Structure 1
Amino acid sequence: MGRPRIGRSRGQKTQFRKIGPEGRKPVYDKENLPPRGSRGLQQRVHEHEKAIKALSRTNSSLSEDNSNLQEVNHSLQTRLEETEFAVGLGDMQLELAHSAFERAEEQVNMKSGQLAAAQEAGSSALQQLDKVQTENRSLRKDKDTLRKRISRASGQQDRAIQKAVEKAELAHQAVDLTTKGTYTSDSRNMVRDLVSGGRVEGANVNAVIKIVANGLGVDLDELRIPSARSVGRMVSEGYIAGQLQSVDEMHQAKNFTISGDGTSHRHTQYESKHVALPVPSYNISEAAKQFPEIPANRFYNIGSAVNHTSESQLEGWEKLFKAHYALWNESPLAKEKLDWRELLPKLKGILTDHAEDQKKLARLFQVWKDRVDREIRGEEVLLGKSSAELVAILCDVNHRKILDAGGIAAWDNLPDEEQIERDRKAFQELLMQYGEEAFQKLSDEEKEEAERFIWSGCTMHKELNAVKGGNTRMMAFWGEKGLIGPIKLMNRDNDAAAALGSSEAKRRADDVSEGGGVKTTKLAGSILNDQNKKKGQQDTFVYFFLVELSLALYLTFLELVRDKKEKRNFNHMEANLYKALQDIPTITELCVLALYAQAISHPYIHCRQSDLLLAADATYVTGTLNGALVAFFSGALETWKRFSMEFKDGGKISQLSPAQRQASFMHTTNDANEGSLGSMRQQLLRNSCLTLHAFNARRMWKVNNTKGWMAAKATPEVEMFMKKKARELDASGAEKKRKQELVETEKEEVETKRRKIREKVEKERKHMAELEKISLWTDLQQIQQHPGTNEQLDEQLDKHRQLEIKAGISKEQRLVPMKSKVTKKSEKITALLEAVKRFSAGYPCNSLPAAIMPESEDSEEEY
């Protein structure tokens, strides 16, 4: 075998110079890539293919050299093995023949030299092999890179062209908010978002959309931008969607609670309503899948009312339930008709303030809920009856109904309206009868579940009343302990009366005037941060206190306010505040108010380490708040107990299980209703033409996630229904009807009062005429021995009262006692004897300065 060739051939060196790392030009230049399909690209591709073929030939040559080197290595290994065998044989021969030692040693030396040369040659061959393999891998990598670049060239060119086209189109993009002349759902949602969440008035939506489009470089057809009328209709569609959403969510919920509050605006009463219930999240995120339902407090409605009575509020709830369910039953969402009465068994409680009319409302809800429960159960019982049984039951009811009317002839003579009302009442009594029987068959647990209805009062009202109770006790503390109380902060008139008036005027001015921490806080609020932002110091006070805060600085600030004036004097309110902030008892009460706020109000009734309020080593020497603080806390505690009676042991709430508490979930405060009413007042002040249903639509869309509900439930058919109902609502004149209804109701109320007055006057006139026919008893002995009946005694006393009225004696100065004051016969006899004695002495005739006054036909005096 010949000597292996080491190094590169001339052809290899030439090829290496073409493609090697030193001085070679890149085969492919992305930036200089010619257009697709050009001859230059084809030529360069052809050159790349030639280079690849040359690389392939070089690779084959290297593979052949590699094989030769492997053969040389194998030969050397064989020769090495033969040499080792010869060395072993020489050692054996050395033992047999010492004479051949030198010859064998020379042979060994010679073989060792050959072995070293062979090992050196093998090592060089291995190094050459590694180098060739490394170059081979590099060539393969370059080949793969070229192949990928060629394959990507076409796609990169297409994408570059597409990007350029899109950029050019975007520069002059025209957006149409409509499809086939109808505004799209996204466009309508955008408008509702602008009006509800963005507080953009309907008349300004058109301009806002134009401004935003111009800022984004988007062309809009101005004729396709919604007008103010279209905006109003889209908002009304949101109102229809909000009502459908409320029915859908309340129907799906197992339980819910309600809350309400009221306020007046421009002499009209408004009632706000909310519903607390679990609702779907309307979210497709992974987190939403883990919590498919979330607790929510849905805005239900704000409506006007003639008054704030409990009956009127209950009627408002019933009216809304019926209206919303009627709308649902008309919609495409109603696979089957729903009965609004199904809501009441799910209703588990109500949250209100602590006014007596609200507690009465809760009682009315309980009665209403129980009545509807019995009606539903009664209907179920009757539906389970056979036709023959049902006919027999109805015949019996009809028979009793006619008997109650006085017979068939009397029934036929009744007006149609009264007959219908009697039929309704008879059928309702039938349902109640069978419903009560079905209810009594339930277990105690089922009865409790059916009748459970919880009333709870707003915690913030509890807090406000607790502070009031604490302040009442603290004000009484000064007198009880014989201490000088806070200085009286009189208004201007009382101050003048106390300074210049009589002793009685001074005493009265002192009695009606207040002082102390709460009064001082009111004055400070009026002077420093009045609700009318044009009055008081406002931001001047804020800027001044950005630097420092202390009691002394309040005085410094008030002095600054005084000295800024031309005459350098306080007004009366400022003078009161200045005096109060230097009065030790008043400052004591202010400290107590601050401590109560820090310990109770701000931490939300979470008490920890109460000893930190006052120093443990405080004494009368250094000053202590123990007395005033204890008095305030004692009064607050009593008020807390009185305003937390719903949580007392043995009450409904204390007996609820955790599951029942969850079913009767309510928010701790009534902020949602108060906030809705406040928002309504603010929007009506800014836009006096805003209709009530338009406000409800905005509020529902903003806080109820109606947009999310529509995305989940609103099909094209539902959207068409919403558009139809919105047009009907706008054309119905609902706002005008609402106002007319208020006027008509007030007229009816006034007419009812006037009718009662006329009836009362007529009754009094007849009574007076009857009294004229009665003769007065004048024999005292006869009265004592034979007083007669109670009715006769009342007639005689009424006669004496009539004389007092004719004499013109005022109600406060009349001597004959009121009928309600003399209920027993002995009392009536005594009163009559006294009246006869006065009459015999000339009373009341001698009381008149002139003749007896003639009888007044419209007198409303009570006897």
Structure 2
Amino acid sequence: MACIGDVFGLQINQEMSRRTVGRAVEEGGVAARIQAAYKLSETKGVTISADSTLNCGLNIESAHMALCVADYTSGNLTIDPSSTPKTIDHTSAEAVRNWEAQIQECCDIFNHSPLARRLGRNFVVRDFMRILNGMHGDHASVEKGTASGLKDRKHDVVIQDLGEEALAGKEYMELVNYLAAWNVKKIAEAGGEEGWKALSPAEQAVRDGVLMKEIVTALGKEAYDALTPEERRRLDLFIWGRCCMHKDLNSFKGGNAEMMLEWKRLGQDGPVLLCNKQNASILRHHLDRTIPKDAVLTEDEFKAFETSTRGGVKACALAGAIFNNKDDKKGQGDRHIDFMTRKLGKQHKRFPNTSNTRFGSYSDASAELITHLPLYKEIVDVIQWSKHVPSLTNIEKNLGNSLADACTLTEFVAMVIYQNVITHPYMRQVRGPGTENVNLLDLGPLHIAIRDHIQSILDNPDIIFGSDISYTTATLDGKPWSNPEAMQAVFKLIPSLPFVKPITLAFFRGAQVTWIRFSAEFAPGGLIDLCTADERQQAWMTPTNDANEGELSGYRVAVRGKPSLTLHQYNALAMFRRNDTQAFMDAVFTDENHAYIMREARRIDASGVEAEKRRKIVDFRIQMAQMNKDKADAKAKHDAEVLEANLKRPLVSLREMDGLKVPGIVDQLNAYRARGVPNILKISNYRLKADKLAALKQAFEWYQVNGASLPVLTGVSAAVQSNPAIIEDWAAEEDVKMEE
């Protein structure tokens, strides 16, 4: 206010207090909740979406609703009333309770408002469940469980509605006789007439209430069972839609996993090993490829080898940590931009944000590295020799090795091809300009086209490897390459990479399997396929979960700039701005409504809602800590008993081993592991009996030579104690930390 006054030459000596500002913000939140309930009371169908993240150790959830409403200026518009509630824990049961609590809060505020009285409306959670037609989110099990819980809740409402309708439709005498039969059952359960009379009026009222619920439920189930399958489907309509961005993300992961397995099928070592600093020091002499493949590893070397990674994705992550670290105090971010700008003669963009694992960042990083491969080799060399003491950190050394490794470059090429052929054409159809009104439920043909296009490439690899390759036949949508410069670099590099064709096809093959699995909701004969056009419109869902992803990021940015901002204040601001609540207020509010939201805001402000929520979270965490500790103690005791049993188990001779069955072989392996024999894998890693038997004989031979030097364990179960795991951040989190 003072700043605006200065513009007009006015001096304002007074200012709004912090309390007044906070209450003004809360008033906007109250109005937004009235708006949400008002719009829900007018619509025939609504879908919801959610996502969550941790912020300072607390679980934060973003939630949106999608429904068709008037926007007061242009007719019809789909809006998303949003909120960002804080939940006690990250479970589906808690999420269902939180959804009901949020809707109940909106209903209570609306139902007590002058607007509801003027319109003669009353909206409750049960009404919301009737019109709830689906949920949208990522593919996580928690979201799936939440959708399942809400679907069950909607079904309960359907049963209740049918039961009440059936009860109201009975003739008077039929109703009397029907209720009398149930009343006999009620009295019998109470212990007869004497038992019933012995109950207090309050207890009798409770039992009468329970009885009526049972009656309604029984009638509802009878009516539901009498419906046709089509009628049941319409009443129970609830679709779980899954984010298209996550579909592509998982297909990329599936392709990468299959690509990494392909090296073994080809009889090749695969990409160079990329050890963190700790493992590199342990495996230093084994990293030399002149060392025989069957060289014996010590137990520490074996563990270091098992925990080390390799491949194009890992190399991209390392490059992102060096050239665009999420911690702006670390890495070579600005030097990278200056170097590339100097060499290319134009301003260069930042390296793809793999350090923050953004969608598509690994394929973007591989495209960047392939496009400017000579320059990235040069910049690693410059980094080394420009230091006061010329040297490379372990992470820089790993990147340099990757850029010089043909197998890693092959994986880069496979990722770039997949990005230009599938990922970017797919993204153009599910997000970005022109896709604002696209309904996820209408994208079944697109996902079938992806499956078929990948299959055509697998059947005819010349589509992407032929001498006359063209984007018109190679890309999913037949449009030009999204990154022609990267594709040009790929075409130049392919002749020098002997395994690029089978590795790339393996990536496409793994991606296709994942696409099929993560697009199961569009299967022929499935719920989406059976929906009518009107039902799909009433269950409209955005193709991506961008709204929730963006809201969570927005919250983190907001509290970083305003640390004292409470969560319910942020919710009020987010809902008010997102839903254009001011336009709603201008259209339907009267002076009486404005006075109401002021009173309601003061009530909420005085209730200490934020402090109460934090108290519940603390109490829950204390309870959870005790539960986990008790569970860990029980597990430690059980493990000690198993260990002692394995130590007491007699060892069989080499001659007796061939006669053992699989359970006996497993017992012997566990006995040798308990005695300290190294390099025995998890039993699940030995798929065949022959593999288990070979491992047992190897353990026997090792124990014959080294068994006498092993310490003798006694009294194992006498001292049972659960010890917390110690995480070596400096070693385990090298992906997100830079070495100096």
Q: Is residue 530 from structure 1 mapped to residue 381 from structure 2 by the alignment? A: no
The alpha-carbon distance between structure 1 residues 379 and 814, as it changes in their structure 2 partners (threshold 3 A), is farther
**Contact 1:470–1:631 (CA<8 Å) still a contact in 2?**
yes
- 1:683-737: per-residue Cα shift (whole Å, max 9, x none)? 2233332211101011111211111111111111111000000011111111111
CA distance in 2 between partners of 1:757 and 1:565 (Å): 49
Correspondence for 2:385 among 534, 540, 563? 563
CA distance in 1 between partners of 2:338 and 2:203 (Å): 72
Residues 220-619 of structure 1: pairs in structure 2 closer than 5 A: 221-223=12-14, 225-283=15-73, 288=74, 292-299=75-82, 301-334=83-116, 335-385=120-170, 393-410=178-195, 422-499=207-284, 503-504=297-298, 505-547=300-342, 548=344, 550-604=372-426, 613-616=464-467
The alpha-carbon distance between structure 1 residues 282 and 551, as it changes in their structure 2 partners (threshold 3 A), is same
Q: Is residue 219 from structure 1 mapped to residue 10 from structure 2 by the alignment? A: yes
Q: Offset of 1:380 from its aligned partner?
A: 3.2
Q: Which moved more, 1:397-406 or 1:665-674?
A: 397-406
Q: Secondary structure, in 3 states, of the residue corresponding to 1:275?
A: strand
Letter of the 1:810 partner, please give it.
E
1:84 maps to what in 2? none
- 1:207-262: per-residue Cα shift (whole Å, max 9, x none)? xx2112312x1536433x43322111111000000100110111111111111111
CA distance in 2 between partners of 1:815 and 1:248 (Å): 71
Q: Offset of 1:507 from its aligned partner?
A: 4.3
CA distance in 2 between partners of 1:733 and 1:598 (Å): 53
Q: Is residue 725 from structure 1 mapped to residue 600 from structure 2 by the alignment? A: yes
Give the total of aligned pairs.
570
CA distance in 2 between partners of 1:552 and 1:568 (Å): 21
Correspondence for 1:738 among 613, 637, 644? 613
CA distance in 1 between partners of 2:260 and 2:509 (Å): 12
Q: Secondary structure, in 3 states, of the residue corresponding to 1:222?
A: coil
Q: Which moved more, 1:382-391 or 1:730-739?
A: 382-391
Over the residues paired in the alignment, what is the CA RMSD in angstroms? 3.6
CA distance in 1 between partners of 2:632 and 2:272 (Å): 50
Correspondence for 2:589 among 703, 714, 717? 714
CA distance in 2 between partners of 1:517 and 1:330 (Å): 59
Letter of the 2:240 partner, please give it.
W
The alpha-carbon distance between structure 1 residues 522 and 711, as it changes in their structure 2 partners (threshold 3 A), is same
- 1:133-182: per-residue Cα shift (whole Å, max 9, x none)? xxxxxxxxxxxxxxxxxxxxxxxxxxxxxxxxxxxxxxxxxxxxxxxxxx
Q: Offset of 1:511 from its aligned partner?
A: 3.2
Correspondence for 2:510 among 635, 645, 657? 635
Q: Secondary structure, in 3 states, of the residue corresponding to 1:693?
A: helix
Letter of the 1:702 partner, please give it.
R
Letter of the 1:356 partner, please give it.
S
Q: Offset of 1:550 from its aligned partner?
A: 1.7
Q: Offset of 1:594 from its aligned partner?
A: 1.2
CA distance in 1 between partners of 2:721 and 2:66 (Å): 53
Letter of the 1:687 partner, please give it.
K
- 1:356-398: per-residue Cα shift (whole Å, max 9, x none)? 2322222222211011111123223334456666565545434
**Contact 1:241–1:710 (CA<8 Å) still a contact in 2?**
yes
The alpha-carbon distance between structure 1 residues 430 and 745, as it changes in their structure 2 partners (threshold 3 A), is farther
Letter of the 1:705 partner, please give it.
D
Q: Which moved more, 1:377-386 or 1:424-433?
A: 377-386
CA distance in 1 between partners of 2:503 and 2:712 (Å): 59
CA distance in 1 between partners of 2:305 and 2:195 (Å): 71
Q: Offset of 1:746 from its aligned partner?
A: 3.9
Letter of the 1:459 partner, please give it.
C
1:689 maps to what in 2? 564
Q: Offset of 1:612 from its aligned partner?
A: 6.3
CA distance in 2 between partners of 1:487 and 1:254 (Å): 58
1:813 maps to what in 2? 647
CA distance in 2 between partners of 1:565 and 1:510 (Å): 31
The alpha-carbon distance between structure 1 residues 858 and 586, as it changes in their structure 2 partners (threshold 3 A), is closer
Letter of the 2:102 partner, please give it.
L
Letter of the 1:695 partner, please give it.
Y
- 1:735-784: per-residue Cα shift (whole Å, max 9, x none)? 111111223334555677899999x99xx9xxxxxxxxxxxxxxxxxxxx
**Contact 1:349–1:454 (CA<8 Å) still a contact in 2?**
yes
Residues 776-815 of structure 1: pairs in structure 2 closer than 5 A: 810=644, 812-813=646-647, 815=649
Q: Offset of 1:626 from its aligned partner?
A: 1.6
CA distance in 2 between partners of 1:353 and 1:678 (Å): 16
Q: Which moved more, 1:672-681 or 1:492-501?
A: 492-501
Letter of the 2:101 partner, please give it.
K
The alpha-carbon distance between structure 1 residues 691 and 853, as it changes in their structure 2 partners (threshold 3 A), is closer
1:132 maps to what in 2? none
- 1:512-547: per-residue Cα shift (whole Å, max 9, x none)? 321111010000000000111111111221222224
1:11 maps to what in 2? none
The alpha-carbon distance between structure 1 residues 423 and 304, as it changes in their structure 2 partners (threshold 3 A), is farther
Q: Secondary structure, in 3 states, of the residue corresponding to 1:276?
A: strand
Q: Secondary structure, in 3 states, of the residue corresponding to 2:541?
A: coil
Q: Which moved more, 1:392-401 or 1:336-345?
A: 392-401
Structure 1 residues without counterparts, runs of 5 or longer:
1-208, 765-800, 817-826, 832-847
2:435 maps to what in 1? none
**Contact 1:499–1:506 (CA<8 Å) still a contact in 2?**
no
The alpha-carbon distance between structure 1 residues 372 and 565, as it changes in their structure 2 partners (threshold 3 A), is same
CA distance in 2 between partners of 1:479 and 1:559 (Å): 32
CA distance in 1 between partners of 2:321 and 2:523 (Å): 39
Letter of the 2:601 partner, please give it.
A
CA distance in 2 between partners of 1:756 and 1:498 (Å): 37
Letter of the 1:219 partner, please give it.
L
Letter of the 1:327 partner, please give it.
I
Structure 2 residues without counterparts, runs of 5 or longer:
287-295, 345-370, 430-449, 469-490, 651-662, 668-710, 723-740
Letter of the 2:10 partner, please give it.
D
**Contact 2:23–2:601 (CA<8 Å) still a contact in 1?**
yes
CA distance in 1 between partners of 2:555 and 2:266 (Å): 49
Q: Offset of 1:306 from its aligned partner?
A: 2.2
TM normalised by structure 1 equals: 0.61
CA distance in 2 between partners of 1:280 and 1:358 (Å): 30
Q: Offset of 1:428 from its aligned partner?
A: 1.8
Q: Which moved more, 1:520-529 or 1:229-238?
A: 229-238
CA distance in 1 between partners of 2:333 and 2:202 (Å): 64
TM normalised by structure 2 equals: 0.70
CA distance in 1 between partners of 2:556 and 2:586 (Å): 31
CA distance in 2 between partners of 1:312 and 1:697 (Å): 22
Q: Secondary structure, in 3 states, of the residue corresponding to 1:305?
A: coil
Answer with 1 or 2: which has the greater Rg. 1
